[in-house]
Amino acid sequence: MTLPQDYRAVILNGTGMKNVTIGKKTLDATLSPGQILVKVTVRPINPSDVFSILGVYPGFQPPNAFKDSTPGLEGCGVVAAIGEGVSHVKVGQRVVPIFAEAISGNGSFQEYVKVTNVVPIPDDVSDESAAQLIVNPMTVVGMLEYLHVPKGEWVVQTASNSVLGRQMIQVCKHRGIKTVNLIRREEQKAELMSLGADAVVVTADLEPGAVAAAILAATGGSRPFGAVDAVGGNTTLALSDAVRDKGVILVYGLQGGVVFQASGPACLFRGVTVTGYWLATHIMAMKEDVVAKFMGIMVPLSGEKFDLADVMAAIKASQLPGRGGKVAVLLVNTCVFLNPFSDLLASREGHGFLQTSNVDNNDDDLVPSSNWTIPIFRLGVLNVDSNFEQLWDDDTEFKTRLQNPRTQSDAALLASLYGEKIRHTAIPSIIHQMWKGNCFDSDSLLQHASISSWRDSNPQATHILWTDEAMDEFVKSYYPQLLKRYRAFPRVVFRTDLGRLLILQTFGGIYADADTTIIKPLNEWVVEGTTGLDFKNTSTNGIPTLPDSPFNMMVSLETDASKAIIASAPYHAVLGTTINLILARLQKLRSWSDDAADPVTLTGPEVFSYGIRSYLSGAVDVKWADLHGQFFNQSRRLADVLVFPTGVFGIPTKDLGGDAQEAAAVIGADYEYVQREKLVEHHFSHTWIN
C-alpha cells in the first residue's frame, strides 16, 4: 500500500468547538515491533467525543491544555503497514483498532494511527457496524461478562432506547438472556420489541416508588439477575429494590445527575451491590475474540455520513434532539473542506422580540426609553465560516432551525458550540436571564436596566432572555422526563431555580438574576496569573486539573451559595449533583404546605450550597470554612472552580439595616476591597417571595 507523506486530522487548539480545526500531520511510517499502522476510514460521533472536545470527559485528557490533540474513541479502517512480529493481520485487511492512546490525544479523528491491538472485521460486517464496536458494544459485552448472567435469567436496563440499549437487547437475545427494558415514551416500545426485547416498561406515568413493582410484574414475579443503569438518581433506587438477593447493579452513565440512590434494606439485608462500570478501566482486560464474535449480531444504527473535513457538521447533526440515538458517521472521502455556519445572521439581534407596554417613568438611568422592545436573544460572536448553503444541500432541520434561529433553545445551542468563551475559562460566553412572564410592564424598570447592562456590556456574548413559554418548551424538548414535575411547581420561584440549573447543564454560560446589573464586563472577571491558591489535591473526581487549565465554574459562596450569579461549563458535576438532590427532595415531599417546600431549602441556595460543598470537599484537601468567600481579598481557585470573594456580586445593604459598611461586616465581606473590585450590583428586589 502506497503511503502519503502527510494526512488529514482533526486537531484541537484547546477546549471547545471554536478550537476544532482540520490540519495536516506528517506520516511517520516507522513501526516498532508489534505495531500496526491503520488507515482509518470510518469513525462515529459519540457523546463522549463531544464531551472530549468540550474538555469535560475523563477519558480524554491530553497534555498541554488539549493543544495539538486529536479526539475520537473508536472507528475502523484497513491495515496500511505492519511492524516486526505481527502475523495475525495483513496489509489491506479491514480491522477495528483499539485506540489505547486516545486518552492522551491520539484518537480516531485522523486518517492514520499506530496501534498495537486490532480486531479483524468479518466480510459480512459493514464498516459502519464495525466502527461502532468499541464504546457501546464493548461496554455491552463487558457488562454482561462482569455480571455473569446465566442463560434464561432476566437482566433489567435503563435508557433502553439508546444505541447501547438496543445493542444490549440484541446481544442478550443471542445469549438467551431475557431483558426488561425501561423507557420513557410509549411510542418507543414497538421498535424495542422488534429487536428482541422480552418486556418493556414505560416509566413516564409511574411514580418513582412504582417502578420496581412494574419490573417484577413484567417478569412474572422473578427478580432480575442483575441490572445495568445509564440514568442514576432515583432510577437506581428502583433497580436495587427489584433485583435478586446478592444482585449487582452496574451504573455506566449518569443522565439523571451525578448522585444515585440505592435501597438501604436491599443492600443491607439482601446483599444487593451498586457499583460503577467505566469501559476505560476494563477494556484492556477483555479478550479480542469476546467482542469479535458479537460483531454480526448487533444491527448497525448509523445516521448521516460526513467527510472528515466536515467534522463540525457531523457533531452538530449528532446533537439534534430526537435523533433516536442514531450515530452520525464520518467517512474519509475526497471533497472540498466546508466550514458550516458562516453569515448565519445579517444582524446579531436575533429573531423574535418582547414588546413592552408604554412605560410612564422619569428615571432615565434605568431604561433607554419609555417604550422599549427587548430581543429575546441576541447572538454574540460565533466562530463560524462560509458555505452554509453549500453544506446543507437539503432542507434539513438544522438549516431550518439554526440558519435563522427563532427560539431561545436554538440560539443557546448554537452559541454553546460555536460561541466565544469567557476569557481564561472553559465557560461559554452566554448570558442567561429569566423573566416570570412573556411581556414587561410598568413595574419592570429594574429588569429593563438589568437586561440592558448585561447585554450592552458584553457585545461578544450571546444574551438570552428565557420567558415562561421558552422555558417550558426547553424542558419539554431536552428533559421530557422532568416536564410533569416542572409544570407541577405551584410557584414560579421553583421553576426558575430548577430551570437555571438545567439550562447551564445543557448549554453552559452565566446565569444572572434580573435584579442584577453588571459593573465589569465578563472578560475582566478572571485575570490570568492573579487567581488561584494551590491546595494539596489538584484533581477533581479523578480528572487532573492543571494550574494552566481553564476554570469550569465560577460562584460566589457565603454561608449559602448565591444562585443569583452562576457561571459554568456544560455538564459540570455540581449542576448534576444539585439537580439530583432537588429531585430527591421532591420525591420525599408530602405536600406543598410542608415546611420542606420552602424554596430556599427545596430548590434554592441551601441545596445548591450542598451540591458545591460535596463536590469541592471531595476535590480539594480543605475544610468547608475554606471554601466560602468570606474575608477573601482574592478569588480562590479550588480544583476547576473559581470562588469569588463575598460581596463582589453585591451586598444586601437594605436588608441589613441600610449601612453599607456594617452590612459588609455582617456577611464577612472586605468593604474596601468590594468597592474596588465589585463585579455585579445585586439590588435584592426579592420578587421571588411573591
Nearest-10 Cα torsion for 213, 219, 221, 225: -100
Tell me what pLDDT residue 632 has. Answer: 57
Distance CA 146, CA 141 (A): 9
Q: For the segment 227-252, what is each residue's pLDDT rounded down to a tens digit?
A: 999 988 788 999 999 999 999 999 98
What are the CA-CA distances from residue 134 to residues 129, 166, 524 (Å)?
11, 15, 43
Residues with Cβ within 8 Å of residue 246, at least 6 apart in sequence: 270, 271, 272, 273
Distance CA 157, CA 227 (A): 6
- Domain edges within the chain: 6-132+300-331, 136-284, 353-648
- Judging by DSSP bridges, how do beta strands 636-638 and 641-644 pair with one another? antiparallel
CA angle (73, 74, 80) in 5-degree steps: 120
- The secondary structure of residue 153, as a DSSP letter, is -
- SS3 string, 624-667, reads HHHCCCCCCCCCEEECCEEEECCCCCCCCCHHHCCCHHHHHHHH
Q: Residue 489 class from Cβ within 10 Å (0-12 exposed, 13-18 middle, 19+ buried)?
A: buried
Tell me what pLDDT residue 314 has. Answer: 79
Tell me what pLDDT residue 518 has. Answer: 92
Distance CA 429, CA 18 (A): 12
Q: Which of 283, 74, 274, 39 has its CA nearest to residue 163? A: 74
Tell me what pLDDT residue 158 has. Answer: 95
Q: Residue 596 class from Cβ within 10 Å (0-12 exposed, 13-18 middle, 19+ buried)?
A: middle
Residues with Cβ within 8 Å of residue 47, at least 6 apart in sequence: none
Q: Which of 585, 644, 650 has its CA nearest to residue 611? A: 585
Residues 572/445, Cβ–Cβ less than 8 Å: no
Q: Helix or strand or coil: residue 17?
A: helix
Question: And the C-alpha cell for 205?
Answer: 406515568
Q: Which of 585, 668, 562, 575 has its CA nearest to residue 614? A: 575
Q: For the segment 150-177, what is each residue's pLDDT rounded down to a tens digit?
A: 999 999 999 898 888 988 999 999 999 9
Residues with Cβ within 8 Å of residue 603, at least 6 apart in sequence: 493, 494, 497, 498, 582
Tell me what pLDDT residue 448 has. Answer: 78
Question: And the C-alpha cell for 108?
Answer: 480516531
Distance CA 285, CA 118 (A): 14
Q: Which top CATH class is 353-648? A: alpha beta
H/E element holding 218?
A: helix 211-218
Q: Residue 427 class from Cβ within 10 Å (0-12 exposed, 13-18 middle, 19+ buried)?
A: buried
Strand ordering across the sheet containing 248-251: 199-202, 178-183, 154-157, 226-229, 248-251, 273-276
Q: Helix or strand or coil: residue 415?
A: helix
Tell me what pLDDT residue 39 has. Answer: 96
What are φ and ψ of residue 512, in 5° steps? -135, 130
Other Cβ atoms within 10 Å of 2 Cβ, number = 4
Q: Which residues of the chain have pLDDT under 70?
A: 256-258, 283-303, 317, 319-374, 383-404, 436-445, 528-561, 594-596, 616-634, 638-639, 654-657, 666-668, 686-690
User: Domain 136-284 belongs to what topology?
Assistant: Rossmann fold (3.40.50)
- The secondary structure of residue 102, as a DSSP letter, is G
Question: What superfamily would CATH give domain 6-132+300-331?
Answer: Medium-chain alcohol dehydrogenases, catalytic domain (3.90.180.10)
What are φ and ψ of residue 124, in 5° steps? -90, 10
Other Cβ atoms within 10 Å of 367 Cβ, number = 21
Question: And the C-alpha cell for 507?
Answer: 448549554
Tell me what pLDDT residue 52 has. Answer: 87
Sign of the dihedral defined by the CA atoms of residues 402, 408, 412, 418, in that order: positive
Other Cβ atoms within 10 Å of 115 Cβ, number = 19
Residues 317/304, Cβ–Cβ less than 8 Å: yes
Same fold, 6-132+300-331 and 353-648: no
CA 443 to chain centre: 37
What are the CA-CA distances from residue 568 to residues 397, 526, 681 (Å)?
28, 14, 20
Q: Please, what's the b/e burial string for 41-67 (b: 16 or more CB within 10 A of its CB; e: otherwise)?
A: bbbbbbbbbbbbbbbbbbbbbbeebbe
Tell me what pLDDT residue 284 has. Answer: 60
Chain position carrying cell 448472567: 149
